[in-house]
Structure 1
Amino acid sequence: MWNPLSWVMEAAAIMAIAMAHGGGEGWDYQDFTGIVILLLVNSTISFIEENNAGNAAAALMARLAPKAKVLRDGKWSEEDASVLVPGDIISIKLGDIIPADARLLEGDPLKIDQSALTGESLPVSKHPGDGVYSGSTCKQGEIEAVVIATGVHTFFGKAAHLVENTTHVGHFQKVHIQKHISSLSSYVSQCFLCLTLKLNLAMILLQVLQSIGNFCICSIAIGMLIEIIVIYGPQQRKYRVGIDNLLVLLIGGIPIAMPTVLSVTMAIGSHKLSQQGAITKRMTAIEEMAGMDVLCSDKTGTLTLNKLTVDKNLIEVFADGVNQDMVVLMAARASRLENQDAIDCAIVSMLADPKEARAGITEIHFLPFNPTDKRTALTYTDAAGKMHRVSKGAPEQILNLAHNKSEIAQRVHAIIDKFAERGLRSLAVAHQEVPEGTKESLGGPWEFVGLLPLFDPPRHDSAETIRRALNLGVSVKMITGDQLAIAKETGRRLGMGSNMYPSSSLLGESKDNFASVPVDDLIENADGFAGVFPGKYNSNHRKALIQIIVYFLIIYVPSEHKYEIVKRLQARKHICGMTGDGVNDAPALKIADIGIAVADATDAARSASDIVLTEPGLSVIISAVLTSRAIFQRMKNYTIYAVSITIRIVVGFMLLTCIWEFNFPPFMVLVIAILNDGTIMTISKDRVKPSPSPDSWKLSEIFATGIVLGGYLALMTVIFFWAAYKTHFFPNHFDVRHLHGDLHGPPTHEESKMLGAAIYLQVSIISQALIFVTRSRGWSYTERPGVLLMIAFVIAQLIATIVSALLSWELAGIKAIGWGWTGIIWVYSIITYLFLDPIKFAVRYALSGRAWNLVVDKHTAFINKNDFGREAREAQWAAEQRTLHGLQSADMKVEKHTFREINTLADEAKRRAEIARMRELHTLKGRVETMGKLKGLDVDAINSHYTV
């Protein structure tokens, strides 16, 4: 083990074997051997557990290995990039990290980001026939390519191989610096996956280890200094006696197991997260996930199922001579039949046979979707040899193509808004003839054919998950590219609120509506933003940003919407999580405290993220939050325990030495340390209750709690020693033998050994029992510990009890005290334990204003909106709900129950709304009424003309 705590323990070993040899005394072999054994035990456990953690990390990283779409045996399949061979046909599309050197086949040019290889800051265009390099990222386009090199034979692999085998030594290299760097680089490249976990782990634990380690070392140093002054000053005691007492403080005060416990806890927690569908790439993300209070979530695929459906009866037709079936067919022709996205799959599945999309036509050219054009297009020739072009995509983009845009724009927008009010997205379809007969020609005028409504139903667990998130103190903000009306409708259905704004409010374009609200307040208090795209701002946006600078004194101008939201939330001291799946989400994922790549995210998004989800939905994230808080709670519990034990050992034994010149045998401190370490190792798998609110390292709280608890335990040890050493209380009342017969003289050699055994048992019992107090937020006896922790505690205390009661061990300097004294010490320790919980609550009350077990459940993450009419609206709404439910008036209520009543009424209202929504979506009557509303029909008039 290579850390300051182990260095201090190694110094203690040197002190035992070197400095103890003096004053006519022999070598202190037993203490030296015991310290070495303690170091070996901790090192062995650390090696085994960290090796297991390294293997687990390698297995996790293997699950994130790059994938590639490969054409084999005439079928497309997803394979690991490592199994590619030259000659394989692969598919490259937006967001993919190119898995091997390849040559592009027929298709449109790609935009490739080669900055990682060549240093070029801007994407470069690659045309059919050009080569692309492994490790570069596709920024635009879609094409097939043939693999020409893999592994060490790629451009990147050859460069790495050349660097590794360089033997030239320059003038500066003659001092061997470069040689060492090259050797280290080679080693790291071979062991990268296993070391990633440990390097990241060192980053998160470094500050905590340093702070707590420094505190413990300083406490021990102060205690040793006081002992040296007292022992060799007023007491004038022997040299060897002073060394032995100093060894007691050194051995007992150092939390030697802390690095191992924290690293093992983190590694085991990371493995548990992976089992829940969240693979941790950066270990610090676990700590940040525990403290996350804002989650910016995508709508599609995270809050919704990402399984689009189209109601053919609601399709709006704009072209003459075209019916709804023809609109679907044109949309299907503008879709891919292989490697489909969700929209392509929904459209093509509406056909009786997917092959109908290409029946009777010859495909000439397919334009894939890209974030700039926001549409796809197919150029084809029909059976008569005439060339046509169909396109589907965002309504605004398709509308801009139409030759009669001015005539139909009002109707198109009205239908889009009508769809959006019901939570339906719109997909537009257009058609044109290409009389020139070439795919490069512009063609004739575009005809706007129709609008299709797309419905992406919310996940069944999203509403409950959002409610759980709010109760956990995590504010969920919906960030979507859909229309504002769709976002509000989705928010209403999920119970997350409809306080949402268009992305223009971020850019200052809606200045008239939001002039009185600073942008930072708007972002912090919003439930979500609609029309948010991660693309670059245009010139109009830049002008708007200049206006923001003038009106709101903002000096930072980001280049992306999501990036902007995250930065402003972080500026308000929020720990912000961001979900994403596309290549353009990468900047926001990178800047977020916790970047979360959702299931089926692109390679670029995964590369930029901290956590990669293998399961869809928001519930995976909330489960990860709970698990992260449990992991963090285990580490926090141990650090409080470690500080308490250091104070308890240092203060307790220092007082015994300085007041009564009592010499506790150093070897028994080693026994206490070994048994404690064996017990405390199980805390990494302990059953804990996660914090109900975002948590983080609060060193002041850790030190304050540790000092008070440790000081109390030290005081109780001193009181017990005083009662056993300076009084006859226990022999007179419990008929046990005297541990100090002559109260006015020094104890005999045998009495000193018995006192050592008694103090050993008392310290051992209460020190290990302390972990049950620090691991609990409430009363320790109400929170059941883990089985392993309980078994380890019982075994350790069984050993300590037998050793004290029955074992007379000359080497260790103790003598059996019998079962009478053993029972007294157990009863005394239990009484001491009963006061630990109240002391813990008192400290927490003093620090936070209330004890942790008295914290009232919060129904919202944070509320600081400047809404001055809110109280009046809530009172009016509550009165309406009372009338609806037949409840008594507000005047008859006790004032302190008002908010509880409002919460109850809100839950009832939400439940009624959810029942109404389910009836609307899942009954024939509900669907008929919904279709009638969308068609603008008089539902009341037709109610009597259908039967269910």
Structure 2
Amino acid sequence: MDMASSDDMAMADLETGEEEEVLRRLGTAEEAGLTDNEAARRLRLHGPNVVVLSHHHEGSMLQRFLMALFSLWGWDHVFPKYNNMVRIILNSMSWVTVLTTIAITSAGQRPCELAIVVFIVATSLIACFIAKLVLEYAKAPLEAKAHSPRAKVLRDGRWRDVHAANLVPGDIIFLKVGDIVPANARVLRFQKIDTMTCWAKRSVDCAHDFLIYYAWTVSCGQGTAVVIATGRGIPRSTLRLYPQRYARPGQLKEGVMLAACFCASLVLVGTIAEIVLSFLLQKQNCTGMPLNAHFMPLIGGIPMAMPVFLYLALAWGSVRLCFLGIASRGTVALEDLASVDVILFNMTGTLTCNQPCFVRDKIEMFADGVSKDHAIILAARASRSQHELYIEPIDAAILRLLDDPEQARFGVQVLEHHACFFVALKLMFQTTYIDEGNGSKCCVFKGDPTKVAHQCGCSKEVKEKISTLMDELTLDGYQAIAVGHQVDSCWEFIALMPYTDDLRSDSADVVDSLIDLGLDIRVLTESPLSTTKQVCGKLGKLGTNVVPAHSVFELARNNIEVHSNINGISDLFPEDKSDVVRRLRNFGCHCAMVGYEFLDHDAIGESHIGISVADATDYTKSESDLVLTQHALMPVSSAVQISRKICQMMRSFTIFTVSSTVHLFGVRAILYLLWHFDLSSILAFMIAACNYCTSFAMLFERVELNKSPDRWRVQKIITSGAAFGSYIVLTTAIFYWVASTANPFACKFKPISLMGSDEEIRAALFLQMSTINQAIALFVHSDGCCIIRFPGPVVTFSFVVSQMVATQKVVHGDLNYALTKGIGCVRAGLIWLYNLVLLLTLVLV
């Protein structure tokens, strides 16, 4: 207790003490930082700067057990969404029933059934474990590249980029807008940016001696701070999670959860009904019942494959994303990208390279007696110095126009820098300085031409000329900034400096590809209307229907037709982007936002799927579901295609699973209630094993790409599966009725018929049910209006092999599989013919 108390007091002294005293106590200097040897010693002393949060799962032992079970497949984020414990228990029923059956079969000395159950469970767990290892191996380097926290730290008088885990108390770090604070620190020097003029919702006052804490975000400005606590030394009262929004269930997990609940409900109802009816109608005693009445619980082995199949499908998709250079945290984007209707792109830095290039010959001069070279020098004075740790792209482009960047500060004494946003993250800089040549106090201003013209008090004619020139430059693909100069309280408009910001090499291709996939594309930008139209015109099939922001917000909020025809929105303020996304969501659209700047994070937060490009800010990446690690946009289109393929695959599998469960449930119930015919439990085991083979084969099946957004309608999927299941239940019931009551071939052949003993009927039923049940996987499909298709080669091969084995067992009989008497080749052929006619009828109808 005394040691903890002394640590708290020491931390309080570092937080409240004078700057010089704090630096002295930490043994560091603002100009040089720590030495490498001292940093290494402190790293051994304090440990790595890694924050580990201990999660205490509350609830009963059953809840904790189910939570651990769900986490095996990555379903732990779905668990809190289902507060109703009944639904969770129902979903876990398949596991519980199968494990119970292991004990029953062991007691009943049925090693074959036990071996099948162990095989199914072990295969599932091994497949999930291997998939998890492969996925972690593939994702590790991308995670490190996209999400690994980095820090710019001063060591031995030099700034260097290190992993945030290597920070120690006393390090001097540099922070800029969009960075996530890697440790508790105290601000030393910070350049504030005035954002109140254009963004009233966000203003952060990072003043001298201001305390900043782990996982805070720098929302404006840049500067230095000294680290006062790292890793386990960070007080829990100041600890916050790194921002993230990907820990939520996607549409596939929710859909599979509901479908599994439906199947498990059938299993539960059937199990209870089987026990009750067996006791009431047949007067069986309770002791003999567990060994005879456990067919229904064994059906639970079929829906048990659903979470396994989903995990393997998502793992396969995640590995494909890794090959594309996309880092994903969680599976939400992989599940929900298929349902996206609209993709919004921030123009600057996303569709364009955000690498301005000025053209000296295009500079338009407005001031008499000022050369272009001098105008460039004035613009460079209104930019960040080359010696600063971070320079805005537009400032770097201006400095590149100078033969020697030192010219910008030669012969002047800078008094003050003042900055504020005007377009994207390009800043308006106003620099106040003293001209050492004549001793006059001057001010130079660089930024939006309209604002500079207003600041300089230009006449109406000059403003019209500026507007005309801007329009002409836009037609040629140029944007422009203006430079203003003040001497002795007299402002003068100096020059208009055009520049280009080229599109990424694949921007037009990715837009065309997404449009071909049935997606609507929106370009969001703070740039002027004419510039936005020019850019949209270069983006392949995208139109040029661009409207300014104020016109969009004047439209009726329920006018979806007007909004759906818009290709781009210009003149946006940062908070307007999130409002655009919010409106689209209110129209029922599923939106994805591709962002780059710190100011995009609100729009990413409002969208269903957030995507960041490779050079986005740390905070934007932390808010995104997908992060591109390569300087290309085409992986976005590939990710959409992968997501749609997984959705189609899961829809086919879910329909197949629901139909199989309904089939076995319905056949058991009808035969038991109408004819008091008792099916052998080996039937459920064998069909479950065959379905597992088919399920894994469906993972490798080639899926036809859907050319429109694909949303999971779980009710329709369950209805389709139940309809298929009901159809084959009816066919099996008719088959049993014919096999047990008629002998249609007796008059033409020797006594060859399906009419026979109970053992023969059981064998015939097994073949008919196994064939028709598994054949559903050959025809279920995932297109919106049609769910029938011809099978692919992988599923067909799996079906043929498994059913040939089943047919061989039925023809000759096998005591190990409770088939005491075979039915012969002719009867087996008649069963195949019967099922073939039924399936062709299903396809044709």
Same fold (TM over 0.5): yes
Other-structure match for 2:551: 505
Q: Do 1:277 and 1:613's aligned partners in 2 also have CA atoms closer than 8 Å?
A: yes
2:473 counterpart of 1:419: yes
Q: Do 1:91 and 1:144's aligned partners in 2 also have CA atoms closer than 8 Å?
A: yes
Residue in structure 2 matching 1:350, options 379, 401, 416? 401
2:183 counterpart of 1:136: no
Other-structure match for 1:375: 428
Aligned residues: 744
Q: Do 1:101 and 1:134's aligned partners in 2 also have CA atoms closer than 8 Å?
A: yes
Residue in structure 2 matching 1:10, options 79, 96, 101? 96
CA distance in 2, matches of 1:533, 1:694: 30
2:480 counterpart of 1:480: no
Residue in structure 2 matching 1:761, options 746, 758, 767? 767
**C-alpha deviation, 1:483, in angstroms:** 0.7
* Amino acid aligned to 1:344: D
* Amino acid aligned to 2:655: I
SS at match of 1:663: coil
Superposed counterparts of 1:181-260, under 5 Å: 200-201=248-249, 204=251, 207-220=254-267, 246-252=293-299, 254-260=302-308
Residue in structure 1 matching 2:493, options 439, 448, 465? 448
RMSD value over aligned CA atoms? Answer: 4.2
Residue in structure 2 matching 1:65, options 145, 148, 167? 148
SS at match of 1:774: coil
Q: Bigger shift: 75-84 or 304-313? A: 75-84
* Amino acid aligned to 1:496: L
Q: Do 1:142 and 1:368's aligned partners in 2 also have CA atoms closer than 8 Å?
A: no
Compared CA separation, residues 379 and 77, structure 1 to 2 (3 A):
farther
Q: Bigger shift: 415-424 or 26-35? A: 26-35
CA distance in 2, matches of 1:629, 1:68: 38
2:372 counterpart of 1:292: no
Q: Do 1:279 and 1:614's aligned partners in 2 also have CA atoms closer than 8 Å?
A: yes
Structure 1 residues 89-108: Cα deviation after superposition (integer angstroms, max 9, x where no partner): 43311121122334444453
Q: Do 1:301 and 1:617's aligned partners in 2 also have CA atoms closer than 8 Å?
A: no
CA distance in 1, matches of 2:612, 2:153: 23
CA distance in 2, matches of 1:466, 1:122: 32
Superposed counterparts of 1:93-172, under 5 Å: 93-106=176-189, 108-109=191-192, 124-128=204-208, 130-154=210-234
> More helix per residue: 1 or 2?
1
**C-alpha deviation, 1:659, in angstroms:** 4.4
Structure 1 residues 263-300: Cα deviation after superposition (integer angstroms, max 9, x where no partner): 33223323323432433335333333211112222112
Please give the TM-score of this superposition, normalised by the length of structure 2.
0.77
Superposed counterparts of 1:805-816, under 5 Å: 805-806=811-812, 808-810=814-816, 812-816=818-822
Other-structure match for 1:84: 167
Structure 1 residues 808-857: Cα deviation after superposition (integer angstroms, max 9, x where no partner): 22563444445555555445444444344445xxxxxxxxxxxxxxxxxx
Structure 1 residues 382-425: Cα deviation after superposition (integer angstroms, max 9, x where no partner): 67485654332222232233254656322222222322344421
CA distance in 2, matches of 1:779, 1:131: 60
Compared CA separation, residues 60 and 303, structure 1 to 2 (3 A):
closer
CA distance in 1, matches of 2:809, 2:837: 22
**C-alpha deviation, 1:644, in angstroms:** 0.8
Q: Do 2:101 and 2:297's aligned partners in 1 also have CA atoms closer than 8 Å?
A: no
CA distance in 2, matches of 1:273, 1:622: 11
Please give the TM-score of this superposition, normalised by the length of structure 1.
0.69
Q: Do 2:190 and 2:206's aligned partners in 1 also have CA atoms closer than 8 Å?
A: no
**C-alpha deviation, 1:224, in angstroms:** 5.6
Other-structure match for 2:566: 526
Q: Do 1:9 and 1:256's aligned partners in 2 also have CA atoms closer than 8 Å?
A: yes
**C-alpha deviation, 1:722, in angstroms:** 4.6
Q: Bigger shift: 640-649 or 30-39? A: 30-39
Q: Bigger shift: 134-143 or 326-335? A: 326-335
2:684 counterpart of 1:636: no
**C-alpha deviation, 1:643, in angstroms:** 0.8
Other-structure match for 1:884: none
* Amino acid aligned to 1:315: I
* Amino acid aligned to 2:213: Y
CA distance in 1, matches of 2:402, 2:843: 68
SS at match of 1:391: strand
**C-alpha deviation, 1:247, in angstroms:** 2.5
Compared CA separation, residues 87 and 334, structure 1 to 2 (3 A):
farther
* Amino acid aligned to 2:474: A
2:604 counterpart of 1:589: yes
**C-alpha deviation, 1:488, in angstroms:** 1.8
Unaligned runs of 5+ in 1: 114-120, 162-188, 434-442, 509-513, 535-559, 742-746, 840-948
SS at match of 2:482: strand
Q: Do 1:255 and 1:642's aligned partners in 2 also have CA atoms closer than 8 Å?
A: yes
Other-structure match for 2:74: none
SS at match of 2:205: strand
CA distance in 1, matches of 2:520, 2:639: 15
Compared CA separation, residues 731 and 294, structure 1 to 2 (3 A):
farther
SS at match of 1:140: coil
CA distance in 2, matches of 1:68, 1:371: 28
Q: Do 1:688 and 1:776's aligned partners in 2 also have CA atoms closer than 8 Å?
A: no
Compared CA separation, residues 407 and 93, structure 1 to 2 (3 A):
farther
CA distance in 2, matches of 1:424, 1:836: 62
**C-alpha deviation, 1:497, in angstroms:** 1.9
Q: Bigger shift: 612-621 or 667-676? A: 612-621
SS at match of 1:137: coil
**C-alpha deviation, 1:484, in angstroms:** 0.8
Other-structure match for 2:578: 563
CA distance in 1, matches of 2:268, 2:179: 57
CA distance in 1, matches of 2:99, 2:674: 27
CA distance in 1, matches of 2:367, 2:337: 52
**C-alpha deviation, 1:680, in angstroms:** 1.2
Compared CA separation, residues 659 and 106, structure 1 to 2 (3 A):
closer
2:399 counterpart of 1:399: no
Compared CA separation, residues 734 and 498, structure 1 to 2 (3 A):
farther
Q: Do 2:754 and 2:827's aligned partners in 1 also have CA atoms closer than 8 Å?
A: no
Structure 1 residues 540-573: Cα deviation after superposition (integer angstroms, max 9, x where no partner): xxxxxxxxxxxxxxxxxxxx31122122111111
CA distance in 1, matches of 2:542, 2:357: 24
Other-structure match for 1:700: 715
2:774 counterpart of 1:774: no
**C-alpha deviation, 1:312, in angstroms:** 2.2
Same amino acid, percent of matched pairs: 31
Q: Bigger shift: 259-268 or 234-243? A: 234-243
Other-structure match for 1:272: 320
Compared CA separation, residues 429 and 160, structure 1 to 2 (3 A):
closer
CA distance in 2, matches of 1:123, 1:798: 72
SS at match of 2:490: coil
Q: Do 1:248 and 1:664's aligned partners in 2 also have CA atoms closer than 8 Å?
A: yes
Other-structure match for 2:810: 804
CA distance in 2, matches of 1:649, 1:501: 58
CA distance in 2, matches of 1:809, 1:341: 79
CA distance in 1, matches of 2:663, 2:267: 11
Q: Do 1:9 and 1:251's aligned partners in 2 also have CA atoms closer than 8 Å?
A: no
CA distance in 2, matches of 1:215, 1:39: 21
* Amino acid aligned to 1:458: L
Compared CA separation, residues 405 and 104, structure 1 to 2 (3 A):
farther
CA distance in 1, matches of 2:216, 2:503: 36
Compared CA separation, residues 679 and 430, structure 1 to 2 (3 A):
same
Q: Do 1:655 and 1:718's aligned partners in 2 also have CA atoms closer than 8 Å?
A: yes
Unaligned runs of 5+ in 2: 1-68, 71-87
**C-alpha deviation, 1:732, in angstroms:** 8.3
* Amino acid aligned to 2:666: V
CA distance in 2, matches of 1:60, 1:799: 45
CA distance in 1, matches of 2:400, 2:790: 55
Compared CA separation, residues 20 and 810, structure 1 to 2 (3 A):
closer
* Amino acid aligned to 1:64: H
